[in-house]
Amino acid sequence: MAEKFVGKSIKRTEDPRLIQGLAHYVDDIKLPDTLHAVFVRSIYAHARIKKIDTSAASKTAGVVAVYTGKDISQKIGPVPCGAAIPDMKVPDHRVLATSKVYWVGHPVAVVIAENKYIARDAADLIQIDYDELPPVLDEEKAADPKSPVIHEQFGSNIAYKLTAGEGDIEAALKAADKVVKQKIYHKRLAPIAMETRGVLARYYPGEQELTLWTSTQIPHLARTQISIMLNMPENKLRLIAPEVGGGFGSKLNVYAEEAVMGYASMQLGRPVKWIEGRRENIQGTIHGRGQVGYVEIGCKKDGTITGFRYNVFADMGSYFQLLTPAIPTLTGLMLSGCYKIPAIQMNVTACFTNKMSTDAYRGAGRPEATYVIERAMDLVAAELGMDVVEVRRKNFPAPFGGDNPFHVATGLFYDSGNYQGALDKALKMADYTKLREEQKKARAEGRLIGVGVSTYVEICAMGPSPALPAGGWESATVRIEPTCKVTIMTGSSPHGQGQETSFSQIAADELGVTVNDCTVIHGDTAIVQYGIGTFGSRATAVGGTAVYLALQKLKTKATTLAAHMLGVDAKTVTFADGKFSSGGKSVTIQEVALNAHLAKNIPADMEPGLSAQSFFEPKNFTFPFGTHIAVVEIDRETGEIHFKRYIAVDDCGKQINPLLVQGQVHGGIVQSLGQALFEQVVYDDQGQLVSGSLMDYAVPKAAQLPWFELDSTETPSPVNPLGVKGVGEAGSIGATPAIVAAVVDALAPFGIHHMDMPIKPEHVWNIIKKGKTGAA
Amino acid sequence: MTMTMTMKKISVTVNGTTRQSEIEPRLLLVHYLRDVLGLTGTHVGCETSLCGACTVMVDGQAVKSCTVLAAQADGSNVTTIEGFADGGTLHPMQQAFWEHHGLQCGYCTPGMIVAATQLLQRNPDPSEEEIRQGLEGNLCRCTGYQHIIQAVQCAAKKMKSKPAAAAR
């Protein structure tokens, strides 16, 4: 029996280069004669540019070029937005500011010099005169007609308004015994991939070919868009995503700097490199979240939910990046959570503010949805005096799947689910009944223990093409080389997820070879067929399925060839463990691979070679789910929050490599935990970015975290033949409500039912200090 | 205006090889390693000594090379991630990170491995809490640290049985 790999926790094949420091991220690629770029960015949130004096910078020895908005903004096409919403206002987003600056960090000029030290020095010599304007910073106040207007041509700061959902919400809320209301904030977050963005551009004037190495999640989509920006044929632009040091959605984008580097290299005839600094990264790479909303949830006395409304103000920032306006629509899609809710309505008012654009950050709109519905379920439980678990069970659908999807009032059909199963498993792990008894006892002793439960569902495997701006399919080519080594080219663009390993596991099992016989190529548009990229927990469910389907085509051809070699009918041939057999005779896949290439003994109507391609179009999204339980104890003296337990049961369908699944869940939970307790992009009342370094922007550290106790259930997805759902964002969606609920529950003796993130010790301490009477 | 800098001569032993260079006095150690010597395994994640991606050993001490001048390393012995494997044999810490999936995107990993190795040199048998505290200066955005902690625990066991490797 050949060794089977799918379902096993094997070590990653990508790791040896990474643990030895031998991988190549953008800044590790060194080309002779490379110039280095530094951007000069706005120091004001909102101002008119009066004058830019670049003379001193230009005269600096070693400076090769200085460009301002006046020089190049009309020579390069606008920074693209791929999302479209009816009646949406689209600002003309140029690569460098021309007349006005719109946020602290808005690029105004770029200096290109012989080395980065000279470029940095010269950037400081550029003088910019500004006329400051009043900044617009609050997404809710921005909608006020009396607010200053950012983009004057639109007459207001409202980018769009949108209503979504199904059912008669007014009637549903009227029919309720109680309607619970709550204002809920989702503060801005910075994705903080450990590798900042970076671009290296090299132009060959003879061939008229531009190569861009850029730290991106979407090499092909970025190539299409950047070729349009640079007005060059798409097939003359080669885009390479080399090793990419994390993305979390922040590199699911097309940025001004990418096009500017391409332009500069074409103008100067030399390679040009720009590596983003961390301050720049927090100023000028997209942010996540940025919503404030009003929840209204109607319920019967027994806990049955009748209707759910969410009126939300969404902070767009000053310009649209690739998907900025689409993010709140994802919130709308997932408002039903894992519950039967007859009527749901979301009303979005999307506003421009003098801040960096928001866009997709791990979860992208869905963490907001999960957070509001889960908080709302807890508020219902509190209102009715029910247990938080009981109120959830009351509204779960029965387990479903196969041909019976679960239709929710946001318009979606969930593919498969067993919410009770995951909940039961998590409750058992936590010993929930005992936990509640211990909590009661602790409270009697004056100790503050809280238990938070989140039962989440998310939307993954993005997705059917009609639902995505640029296609939702994924591609794969699998080629068996003459020596029977297997080359897999995927349109997915992994940047930490480990698909070099998991796709090899799929191929190895299908072909009866080993993982080490397989190599996965991704990220280079000159080698790999067009693909969509890695985001929205889609790489395995959509990209992996494309690999699987290409393998089936390949096996069909190999079987026909094997039958020819054996002199038998292909229908009689079986393939197992790398061997094609019929009537006691057999040939190995190695023999078939060699013969396919030598082509001396193949059927007359067969093309030589052994490769196959597949473009997989999923018919639906997938809907992973799970239950997270957080147990915290609060220090009454300091307000500090200590985790006692953290339990997560996630169901992402079939698991190709459980070790990688655990890694994704851990990382997601920690980003959730960061959002719940530490992280926030803070702008002051002048629009200055206060949290512009890792000293001030609180990325979670090892010592702040509990030990995560993980388990899973397995409800295969009927949407793809692998039965996989996706797990990249589960943790960042499911954990936040559990953590907030645990803290709120600990403070329930003070009459607390809700707190806004990030919950800091000072907030907790103030509640304890005020005591019961002063509680909100 | 760029000042005309007096170049400074330094001699640094990096991963066992002594390198003589003439550098600008303001050149950071991390840029010296990456741009002058071509050792790009040491990464820059924040430029402010907060993330630890640039951690290297200088005379046996783990330091953040983004806030050390190359000139300060004159005469010293530097070990970067490229110097951790012994020929074809991975350092036990590297091996443990691999086995326990202690990395995803890999960007923080070189600094994390250097810092974790220093941690075990100071405390060969750390508790989970001590590992968490010991790695406070190194940020990872992908893993949630749990697999890193398991890797360090595993490396501690390996290195106790093979103390020679720990000395590197």
Tell me the DSSP string of B123-163.
Answer: -SS--HHHHHHHTTT---SSS-SHHHHHHHHHHHHHHHH-H
Contact between B94 and A16 under an 8 Å Cβ cutoff? The reply is no
Query: What angle is formed at CA A556 by the lines to CA A554 and CA A558, rounded to 5 degrees?
Result: 70
Contacts of A699 in chain B (CB under 8 A): 139, 141
B47 vs A245, A277, A665: nearest CB: A277
What's the N-to-C CA distance of chain A in angstroms?
Answer: 66
Contact between A642 and A761 under an 8 Å Cβ cutoff? The reply is no
To the nearest whole angstrom, how far is the Cα of B41 from the nearest Cα of chain A?
Answer: 4
In the block, residue with structure tokens 């029996």: A1
**CA torsion angle for B36, B38, B41, B46 (degrees, to 10)?**
30
CB neighbour list of residue B133: distance below 8 Å, 6 or more residues apart: A702, A703
A327 near B CB under 8 A: no
Query: Which tokens in the block code for residue A616?
Result: 């997989």
**CB pairs < 8 Å spanning A and B:** 179
Q: How buried is B16 (Cβ within 10 angstroms: 0-12 exposed, 13-18 middle, 19+ buried)?
A: exposed
Task: Measure the CA–CA gap between A45 and A134, rounded to whole angstroms.
Answer: 8
Cα A708–chain centre separation: 22
Q: Report residue A763: phi and psi, to 5°.
A: -65, -45
B55 near A CB under 8 A: no
Q: Cβ B109–A16 below 8 Å, yes or no?
A: no
In the block, residue with structure tokens 């041509």: A153
Taking phi first (over 0 means left), then psi (-120 to 50 degrees means alpha), and beta for anything else, what does residue A503 get? alpha
Amino acid at site B159: M
Task: Measure the CA–CA gap between A678 and A673, rounded to whole angstroms.
Answer: 8
pLDDT tens string for chain B (168 positions)? 445 578 999 999 999 999 999 999 999 999 999 999 999 999 999 999 999 999 999 999 999 999 999 999 999 999 999 999 998 899 999 999 999 999 999 999 999 999 999 999 999 999 999 999 999 999 999 999 999 999 999 999 999 887 655 445
Q: Cβ A194–B97 below 8 Å, yes or no?
A: no
DSSP letter at B89? B
Query: Which tokens in the block code for residue A357?
Result: 């654009």
Contact between A214 and A25 under an 8 Å Cβ cutoff? The reply is no
B64 near A CB under 8 A: no
Closest residue in A to B50 (Cα–Cα): A694
pLDDT at B3: 52
Query: What angle is formed at CA A339 by the lines to CA A337 and CA A340, rounded to 5 degrees?
Result: 130
CB neighbour list of residue A52: distance below 8 Å, 6 or more residues apart: A68, A70, A108, A109, A126, A127, A128, A129
A127-132 sheet: strands from edge to edge: A100-101, A47-53, A127-132
Contact between A109 and A67 under an 8 Å Cβ cutoff? The reply is yes
- Could you tell me the sign of the dihedral formed by the alpha carbons of A600, A579, A502, B117, in that order? negative
- Compute the residue count for chain B: 168
In the block, residue with structure tokens 């617009």: A136
SS3 A350: strand
Radius of gyration of chain B (CA): 16
To the nearest whole angstrom, how far is the Cα of A226 from the nearest Cα of chain B?
Answer: 25
Query: Which tokens in the block code for residue A645?
Result: 């337990």
Q: Where are the alpha helices (DSSP H) in chain B?
A: 29-31, 92-99, 109-122, 128-134, 146-161, 163-166
Task: Measure the CA–CA gap between A17 and A25, rounded to whole angstroms.
Answer: 11
Contacts of A694 in chain B (CB under 8 A): 46, 48, 50-51, 139
Q: Cβ B101–A663 below 8 Å, yes or no?
A: yes
A19 vs B42, B94, B131: nearest CB: B94
Contact between A448 and A634 under an 8 Å Cβ cutoff? The reply is yes
Q: Cβ A702–B149 below 8 Å, yes or no?
A: yes
SS3 A605: coil
B135 near A CB under 8 A: yes
Task: Measure the CA–CA gap between A730 and B67, rounded to whole angstroms.
Answer: 37
ipTM surpasses cut 0.90: yes
A660 near B CB under 8 A: yes
Amino acid at site A168: D
A650 near B CB under 8 A: no
Q: Report residue A364: phi and psi, to 5°.
A: 45, 75
Task: Tally Cβ neighbours within 10 Å of residue A178.
Answer: 14
Contact between A239 and A226 under an 8 Å Cβ cutoff? The reply is yes
Q: Mean pLDDT, consecutive 10-residue segments, chain A of 776 residues?
A: 92 98 98 98 98 98 98 97 96 97 98 98 98 98 98 98 98 98 98 98 97 98 98 98 98 98 98 98 98 98 98 98 97 98 98 98 97 98 98 98 96 98 98 98 97 97 90 97 98 97 98 97 98 95 98 98 98 97 97 98 97 97 98 97 98 98 98 98 98 97 98 97 96 97 98 97 96 50
Task: Measure the CA–CA gap between A541 and A39, rounded to whole angstroms.
Answer: 39
Q: Cβ B1–A22 below 8 Å, yes or no?
A: no
Q: Are strands A343-352 and A305-317 parallel, antiparallel or unpaired?
A: parallel
Query: Which tokens in the block code for residue A470?
Result: 């640029």
Contact between A492 and A531 under an 8 Å Cβ cutoff? The reply is yes
DSSP-assigned beta bridge partners for residue A184: A293
Contacts of B47 in chain A (CB under 8 A): 277-278
SS3 A539: helix
Which residues of A389-439 form beta strands (DSSP E)? 406-407, 413-414
**CA torsion angle for A527, A529, A530, A532 (degrees, to 10)?**
-90
Task: Measure the CA–CA gap between A725 and A626, rounded to whole angstroms.
Answer: 12
Element housing A159 (H / E): strand A158-164
Q: Cβ A194–B141 below 8 Å, yes or no?
A: yes
Contact between A137 and A307 under an 8 Å Cβ cutoff? The reply is no
pTM of the predicted structure, to 2 decimals: 0.97
To the nearest whole angstrom, how far is the Cα of B117 from the nearest Cα of chain A?
Answer: 13
Task: Measure the CA–CA gap between A34 and A211, rounded to whole angstroms.
Answer: 13
Task: Measure the CA–CA gap between A91 and A149, rounded to whole angstroms.
Answer: 13
Contacts of A61 in chain B (CB under 8 A): 2
To the nearest whole angstrom, how far is the Cα of B142 from the nearest Cα of chain A?
Answer: 5
A243 near B CB under 8 A: yes
Which residues of A617-691 form beta strands (DSSP E)? 625-634, 641-651
Task: Measure the CA–CA gap between A247 and A495, rounded to whole angstroms.
Answer: 7
Cα A658–chain centre separation: 20
- Is the bond leading into A16 cis (omega within 30 degrees of zero)? no
Query: What angle is formed at CA A689 by the lines to CA A685 and CA A695, rounded to 5 degrees?
Result: 130
CB neighbour list of residue B127: distance below 8 Å, 6 or more residues apart: none
Task: Measure the CA–CA gap between A729 and A190, rounded to whole angstroms.
Answer: 16
Amino acid at site A202: R
Query: What angle is formed at CA A353 by the lines to CA A351 and CA A355, rounded to 5 degrees?
Result: 135
DSSP letter at A541? I
Q: Report residue A313: phi and psi, to 5°.
A: -100, 120
SS3 A643: strand
B133 vs A24, A703, A731: nearest CB: A703
